[in-house]
C-alpha cells in the first residue's frame, strides 16, 4: 500500500496566498536583465505552460505544473524532506539569462538553479545559500532545454513551495527542425455565423460520410463563437463538430446537431465514430436527436431542450456516452440498450433497456438495478475532462482541464486547467511520417493530429511528462509491418485524446501501451488519461494484434474507449482479424469510466493491477467462435468478458454487462460473463449477462453465481452484488 501525502490547510495558507498576491503587485515576475544584456534577455516567461515534473508533490492540489501556469494563486509544494527539485521542459535548447522564484511561506533556504540539455546531466547555473523567500530574480548564464530548482535545505519545517517559477531566455536559443503551429490542414472546416452556404457545407460532408462506415474520409468542423441560426448539422462517420469557445455557451446553434439511422433502415446499432463537443444547442423542435452506438462522444454540450437517443421510428440502438454536459430537458433513451453518463446535469431521464449507468450526474434517476436498468453513483471518484482546441482572440490554443476529485455536475464555466498555444504543437497533417512525429515529440512539442489516415513504419514514442496527443475528426493511426502504434513512457500526466488506432495486416504485439512493464511510480497527482481513443482490429481490412491496449502506469484514467475486434466489414474471421486481448491493466489504482470492449478471441478485459475501479462496462463476446473447444481453457468454456486476476486483493466495479451472440455455433454455453477472485476486497455491483436471441448462453453471471440466461427471450440474468 502506498502512502499519500496529506495537504495542510487553514488560515496559514490563506494568509500566505494574500501576501503572495500583494507581493506580485509590487514585484514583477519579469527578470530585470543586466544592462549589457538589455536587448537580448526576453522579459517573457519561457517556462509558462511548459511541461513540468518534480521530485514529489505534497498533495493532488499542488502539482509541478501549478508553478508554471501564470497563476499566482496556485502553487507547487513538495514533501517535507530534503533534497527536493522542480523541473520544467522548455521544449528546445535555449540560452538562459534569468530565473525568477516566487516562494510561498515554505521557501527554500539553500538551493541550486540548474540546466540540462537531456534532463539527465545537470550544470549548476547559480548556487544560493541563506535565502529568505519572497520573490527574487537571479541572473544566470548558460544553456539548456530543462531548467530546475534543486533544493538542499528548507527554510521551514514544511516542504518547498513555489507560487511561480519563471525562466527567461535570450534571442539566440536554438530551435528544433520541426516547427510548431501552422494551419490545420485540408480536412478541418472552420466557419463562423456569416460563412456563406454554411448549411450546404454540412450537407456536402454528410452526403459523403453518411454510410461510409469503413471509408477513408475524415472531417472536423470548427465553429467560431457566435450564434448559428437555422442550422441542422447532420453528423456522419468520421465527422466531428466542435465549438471554438472556451465555454459551450460561447458557440450556440439555434437548430440541431443530428445523428439518425436512415442509411441503415432505422437501425442505429452501427452509428459509430463521430462526435460533438463544446457547443450549446437549442433544438428546432425542442428535442435534439443523437441516435448513436459506440465510439460517439457527446462532451461539453449544453442542450437547451431535450435529448432523444433513439432513431426515428425507435429502431434498435446500442450506445453510448455523455460527459460534462447539461441537458435542460429530459433525456429519452427509448431503444438504447446501454448508456453511460458522467459528471453532467439532466432535467430528467425517461427509461432504459438493460444498463443505464450514471456517476456524478445531477438529476439522474435512483439506482433500481434489481428491477430496472439504473446504476447511479453520486460522484465520480476521479475525472479530468478531455483537452480541446479553442480560439483566444485570433490565436488557437488547446485547453487542458485539471483533475477533479469526487466530481458532480459540469466543470464549466471556469473550468480549472491550463492553456497551451498552438505553436507548442506539431500540427500533424496527412503525409507526415512517423520519424517526423517522433522528432517533434523529442523536440518537446505536443501533437495535434488533423483529420486523416496516418501509416506508421515505426512506433510513436511519447516520453515527456504532460505531453498532449490530440486528434481531430477521428484521425486514424495504422501501424505497418507489425510495429506497435504508440508507446507512452511511465511519466506523469500524458493526455491521449480523440483518435483511432486501426490494426494493420501484419500482427502487432501491442497497439497502444501506456507505461513501462513492472514500474509502479505514483502518478496520483497528475495521472495519464486516455479519452475517446478507439481501437479497431479488422472491419476496414484485415488487422491483427495480440494485445490491443495495455496499461502499465499506476493511477491512469481510461475515460471512454471502444476497443473493438470487428464482427463485420472487410477482413473479418476467427483468424483473419485475430486479436487475443482487448484491455489489459497491470497498473495499480487505474480507473475506467465508460469502458466498451468487444469480440476478442480470449479475454476482452484482463485486470491484474490492485485497487482498480470500473464504472460502466459494455461487452459482446466474439460472434465467430467456431465451437466450444476453441474458447475452452483451464476446464472453463468461454473466456470471461471481464476477468480480475486471482492474485488481486482489491477491485471494485459498477454497471457491467456482457452479451453473447454465438452465430457460428449457437450451441456454445459460456461458463460466465465475469470471473473474479472470491475475496472481501473484490466487490462487483450490478452485473448482467444476456443471450441475444438464443445464440449461445451463459451458465452463470459471475463465477458460479447467477442464474443462466433465458433461452431465446433475450432477458438479462442479473447479480446486484458480489460476493
Render pLDDT for 662-700 as a digit per residue (tens, 0 to 9): 999 999 999 999 999 999 999 999 999 999 999 999 999
Averaged pLDDT for residues 400-411: 97
Question: Which CATH superfamily is 41-170 part of?
Answer: Galactose-binding domain-like (2.60.120.260)
Residue-level pLDDT at 659: 98
**Residue 75: is its pLDDT beyond 70?**
yes
Residue 107 phi, psi (nearest 5): -100, 170
Spatial separation of the C-alpha atoms in residues 190 and 56, rounded to whole Å: 42
**Residue 174: is its pLDDT beyond 80?**
no
pLDDT band at 41 (very low <50, low <70, confident <90, very high): confident
Spatial separation of the C-alpha atoms in residues 566 and 537, rounded to whole Å: 6
- Determine the 3-state secondary structure of 146 from DSSP: strand
pLDDT band at 263 (very low <50, low <70, confident <90, very high): very high
Enter the CATH code of domain 188-363: 2.160.20.10
Residue 700 phi, psi (nearest 5): -145, 170
Enter the CATH code of domain 427-722: 2.160.20.10
pLDDT band at 541 (very low <50, low <70, confident <90, very high): very high
Q: Among 604, 482, 612, 460, which Cα is nearest to 542's?
A: 482
Residue-level pLDDT at 719: 98
Where in the chain are the domains?
41-170, 188-363, 427-722
Residue 712 neighbours by CB under 8 Å, 6+ apart = 691, 693, 694
Q: Among 540, 449, 524, which Cα is nearest to 486's?
A: 449
pLDDT band at 92 (very low <50, low <70, confident <90, very high): confident
**Residue 308: is its pLDDT beyond 70?**
yes
Give the Cβ contact number of residue 2 at 10 Å: 12
**Residue 16: is its pLDDT beyond 80?**
no
**Residue 350: is its pLDDT beyond 60?**
yes
**Residue 524: is its pLDDT beyond 80?**
yes
Averaged pLDDT for residues 649-661: 98
Which residue in the block uniquely carries the three cell numbers 497498473? 587
Question: What cell was used for 644?
Answer: 480480475
Residue 229 CA, chain-centre distance (Å), reads 32
620 catalytically annotated? yes
**Residue 2: is its pLDDT beyond 50?**
no
Q: Which of 164, 304, 610, 620 is catalytic?
A: 620
Contact 257, 276 (CB under 8 A): yes
**Strand 108-116 versus strand 123-128 pairing type:** antiparallel
**Residue 580: is its pLDDT beyond 70?**
yes
Q: Among 604, 592, 608, which Cα is nearest to 645's?
A: 608
Which strand (E) or helix (H) includes residue 201?
A: helix 198-209
pLDDT band at 175 (very low <50, low <70, confident <90, very high): low
Q: Among 400, 401, 547, 564, which Cα is nearest to 487's?
A: 547
**Strand 326-332 versus strand 338-349 pairing type:** parallel
Render pLDDT for 422-455 as a digit per residue (tens, 0 to 9): 999 999 999 999 999 999 999 999 999 999 999 9
Higher per-residue confidence, 266 vs 10? 266
Averaged pLDDT for residues 176-187: 92
Spatial separation of the C-alpha atoms in residues 325 and 361, rounded to whole Å: 9
Spatial separation of the C-alpha atoms in residues 206 and 327, rounded to whole Å: 25
Average pLDDT, the chain: 93
Question: What cell was used for 643?
Answer: 476477468
Contact 151, 94 (CB under 8 A): no
Q: DSSP label at 7?
A: P
Could you tell me which residues are beta bridge partners of residue 258?
Answer: 234
Averaged pLDDT for residues 244-259: 98
Residue-level pLDDT at 27: 31
Render pLDDT for 208-245 as a digit per residue (tens, 0 to 9): 999 999 999 999 999 999 999 999 999 999 999 999 99
Domain 188-363 matches domain 427-722 at the CATH topology level: yes
**Residue 187: is its pLDDT beyond 50?**
yes
Residue-level pLDDT at 471: 98
Residue-level pLDDT at 246: 97
Which residue in the block uniquely carries the three cell numbers 465510439? 295
Averaged pLDDT for residues 391-416: 96
Please give the C-alpha separations between residue 709 and each of 364, 561, 574, 700, in angstroms, as whole numbers. 29, 27, 25, 8
How far apart are the two ends of the chain, measured CA to CA in Å?
23
Averaged pLDDT for residues 321-336: 98
Amino acid at each position: 500500500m502506498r502512502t499519500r501525502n496529506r495537504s495542510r490547510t487553514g488560515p496559514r495558507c490563506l494568509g500566505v496566498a494574500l501576501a503572495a498576491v500583494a507581493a506580485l503587485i509590487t514585484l514583477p515576475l519579469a527578470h530585470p536583465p543586466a544592462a549589457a544584456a538589455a536587448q537580448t534577455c526576453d522579459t517573457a516567461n519561457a517556462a509558462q505552460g511548459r511541461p513540468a515534473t518534480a521530485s514529489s508533490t505534497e498533495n493532488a492540489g499542488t502539482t509541478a505544473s501549478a508553478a508554471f501556469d501564470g497563476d499566482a494563486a496556485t502553487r507547487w509544494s513538495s514533501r517535507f524532506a530534503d533534497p527536493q527539485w522542480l523541473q520544467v521542459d522548455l521544449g528546445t535548447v535555449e540560452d538562459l539569462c534569468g530565473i525568477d522564484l516566487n516562494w510561498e511561506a515554505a521557501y527554500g533556504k539553500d538551493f541550486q538553479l540548474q540546466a540540462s540539455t537531456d534532463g539527465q546531466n545537470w550544470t549548476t547555473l547559480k548556487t544560493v545559500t541563506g535565502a529568505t523567500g519572497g520573490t527574487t530574480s537571479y541572473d544566470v548564464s548558460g544553456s539548456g532545454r530543462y531548467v530546475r530548482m534543486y533544493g538542499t535545505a528548507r527554510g521551514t519545517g514544511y516542504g518547498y513551495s513555489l507560487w511561480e517559477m519563471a525562466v527567461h531566455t535570450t534571442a539566440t536559443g536554438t530551435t528544433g527542425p520541426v516547427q510548431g503551429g501552422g494551419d490545420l490542414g485540408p480536412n478541418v472546416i472552420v466557419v463562423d455565423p456569416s460563412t456563406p452556404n454554411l448549411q450546404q457545407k454540412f450537407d456536402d460532408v454528410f452526403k459523403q460520410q453518411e454510410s461510409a462506415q469503413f471509408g477513408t474520409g475524415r472531417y472536423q468542423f470548427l465553429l467560431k463563437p457566435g450564434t448559428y441560426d437555422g442550422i441542422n448539422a447532420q453528423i456522419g462517420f468520421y465527422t466531428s463538430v466542435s465549438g471554438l469557445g472556451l465555454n459551450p455557451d460561447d458557440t450556440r446553434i439555434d437548430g440541431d446537431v443530428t445523428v439518425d439511422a436512415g442509411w441503415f433502415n432505422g437501425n442505429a446499432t452501427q452509428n459509430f465514430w463521430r462526435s460533438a463537443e463544446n457547443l450549446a444547442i437549442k433544438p428546432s423542435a425542442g428535442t435534439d436527436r443523437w441516435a448513436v452506438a459506440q465510439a460517439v462522444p457527446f462532451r461539453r454540450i449544453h442542450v437547451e431542450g431535450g435529448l432523444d437517443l433513439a432513431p426515428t421510428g425507435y429502431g434498435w440502438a446500442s450506445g453510448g456516452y455523455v460527459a460534462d454536459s447539461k441537458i435542460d430537458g429530459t433525456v429519452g433513451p427509448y431503444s438504447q440498450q446501454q448508456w453511460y453518463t458522467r459528471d453532467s446535469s439532466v432535467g430528467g431521464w425517461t427509461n432504459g433497456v438493460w444498463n443505464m449507468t450514471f456517476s456524478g450526474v445531477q438529476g439522474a434517476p435512483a439506482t433500481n438495478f434489481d428491477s430496472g436498468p439504473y446504476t447511479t453513483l453520486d460522484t465520480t471518484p476521479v475525472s479530468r475532462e478531455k483537452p480541446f482546441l479553442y480560439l483566444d482572440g485570433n490565436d488557437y490554443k488547446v485547453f487542458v482541464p485539471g483533475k477533479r476529485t469526487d466530481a458532480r455536475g459540469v466543470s464549466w464555466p471556469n473550468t480549472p486547467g491550463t492553456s497551451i498555444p498552438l505553436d507548442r504543437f506539431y500540427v500533424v497533417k496527412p503525409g507526415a511520417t512517423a520519424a517526423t512525429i517522433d522528432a517533434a515529440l523529442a523536440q518537446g512539442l505536443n501533437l495535434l493530429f488533423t483529420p486523416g489516415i496516418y501509416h506508421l513504419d515505426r512506433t510513436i514514442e511519447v516520453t515527456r511528462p504532460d505531453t498532449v496527443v490530440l486528434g481531430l475528426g477521428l484521425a486514424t493511426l495504422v501501424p505497418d509491418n507489425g510495429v506497435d502504434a504508440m508507446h507512452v513512457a511511465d511519466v506523469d500526466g500524458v493526455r491521449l485524446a480523440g483518435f483511432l488506432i486501426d490494426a494493420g495486416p501484419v500482427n502487432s504485439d501491442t497497439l497502444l501501451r501506456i507505461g513501462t512493464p513492472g514500474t509502479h511510480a505514483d502518478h496520483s497527482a497528475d495521472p495519464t488519461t486516455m479519452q475517446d481513443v478507439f481501437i479497431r482490429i479488422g472491419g476496414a481490412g484485415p488487422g491483427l494484434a495480440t494485445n490491443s491496449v495495455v496499461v502499465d502506469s499506476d493511477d491512469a484514467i481510461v475515460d471512454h474507449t471502444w476497443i473493438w475486434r470487428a464482427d463485420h466489414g472487410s477482413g473479418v474471421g476467427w483468424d483473419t482479424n485475430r486479436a487475443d486481448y482487448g484491455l489489459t491493466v497491470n497498473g495499480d489504482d487505474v480507473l475506467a469510466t465508460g469502458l466498451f470492449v468487444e469480440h476478442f478471441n480470449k479475454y476482452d478485459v484482463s485486470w491484474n493491477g490492485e485497487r482498480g475501479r470500473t464504472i460502466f462496462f459494455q461487452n459482446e463476446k466474439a460472434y465467430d467462435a467456431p465451437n466450444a473447444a476453441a474458447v475452452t481453457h483451464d476446464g472453463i468454456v468461454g473466456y470471461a468478458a471481464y476477468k480480475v486476476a486471482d492474485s488481486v486483493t482489491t477491485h471494485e466495479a459498477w454497471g457491467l454487462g456482457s452479451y453473447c451472440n454465438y452465430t457460428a455455433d449457437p450451441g456454445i454455453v459460456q461458463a460466465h460473463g465475469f470471473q473474479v477472485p472470491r475475496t472481501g476486497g473484490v466487490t462487483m455491483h450490478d452485473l448482467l449477462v444476456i443471450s441475444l436471441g438464443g445464440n449461445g448462453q451463459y451458465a452463470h453471471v459471475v463465477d458460479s453465481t447467477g442464474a443462466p440466461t433465458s433461452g431465446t427471450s433475450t432477458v438479462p440474468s442479473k447479480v446486484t452484488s458480489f460476493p
